[in-house]
Amino acid sequence: MLRWGIRLAALAVMAVLAYLAVTFVQVWTVSRRDEARRAQAIVVFGAAQYQGKPSPVLRARLDHAVALYRKGYADTLVVTGGRLPNDTSGYTEARASAEYLVGRGVPDSAILREVSGRNSWQSLASATAFLKRRHVSRVILVSDGFHALRIRAMADELGLTAYTSPARASPIHGMGKLPYLAKETVAVALGRVIGFRRVAGIDRRVRNVSAVSVDWLH
């Protein structure tokens, strides 16, 4: 019996590792694919901002979205991202993004702002709610390539028809992408099993525990 138990455990571990390996290949493959086509809106996922100035990662995403907008892929840009609890600048990621887009010549009337999300799921779910009220369901999702498979899967779960278009000029490139690809692999693998809403909840709880631990250590 013990021998059979060991064999079953070994088979289970092998199955999990094989599942993760296949998922990693899918995350990597989709990260290299640009699906941009005519849609109703371009949704830009937020990243860090500093005193209202987009970080290099966020700027690369916004520049890519501007290029898609100017090529006529969509008439509306949606910027996402709230304000982190320890951010005293008064800026949300969405506000910093919107001001940057206006500075690049995008009319303010073409920009919609999602200002409450603190992770990708919250931002996309909130944006989906107001987009559907405007009868918008066909979107292009702009983020870093390693993010593409997960955000497309989230969009599917939320009832959007979504195409991904990665920001090629992101400063996260080369070997620097490996930790992000690994994280996305785990998130996608879990999301396919338990749903991406639940994965976002797990990630939020882990972040909260980490923040408490840091406060306690200090």
Per-residue pLDDT of the chain (218 residues; tens, 9 = 90+): 667 777 787 888 899 999 999 999 999 999 999 999 999 999 999 999 999 999 999 999 999 999 999 999 999 999 999 987 776 678 999 999 999 999 999 999 999 999 999 999 999 999 999 999 999 999 999 999 999 999 999 999 999 999 999 999 999 999 999 999 999 999 999 999 999 988 887 655 545 433 333 332 23
Asked if residue 218 belongs to a domain, the reply is no
Asked if residue 209 belongs to a domain, the reply is no
Structure tokens belonging to residue 50: 């500093």
Q: How far is CA 158 from CA 33, 125, 127, 132, 178, in A?
A: 22, 7, 10, 10, 28
Domain containing residue 70: CATH number: 3.40.50.620
- The CB density around residue 34, as the number of other CB atoms within 10 Å, is 15
Whether the Cβ atoms of residue 119 and residue 200 lie closer than 8 Å to each other: yes
Helix, strand, coil distribution of the chain in percent, nearest 5? 60, 15, 30
Range of the structural domain that residue 97 is part of? 33-173
Closest CA to 180 of 205, 145, 204: 145
- Residue 122's pLDDT is 94
Count the domains in the chain.
Answer: 1
CB-based contacts of 160, cutoff 8 Å, min separation 6: 128, 131, 137, 138, 139
Asked if residue 40 belongs to a domain, the reply is yes
Closest CA to 125 of 163, 156, 90, 166: 156
Asked if residue 165 belongs to a domain, the reply is yes
Asked if residue 164 belongs to a domain, the reply is yes
- Residue 158's pLDDT is 96
With 0.85 as the threshold, say if the pTM is over it. Answer: yes
CA distance 218 to 109: 45
- In one-letter notation, the amino acid at residue 45 is F
- In one-letter notation, the amino acid at residue 21 is A
CA distance 126 to 124: 5
List of E strands, 158-199: 161-166
Asked if residue 11 belongs to a domain, the reply is no
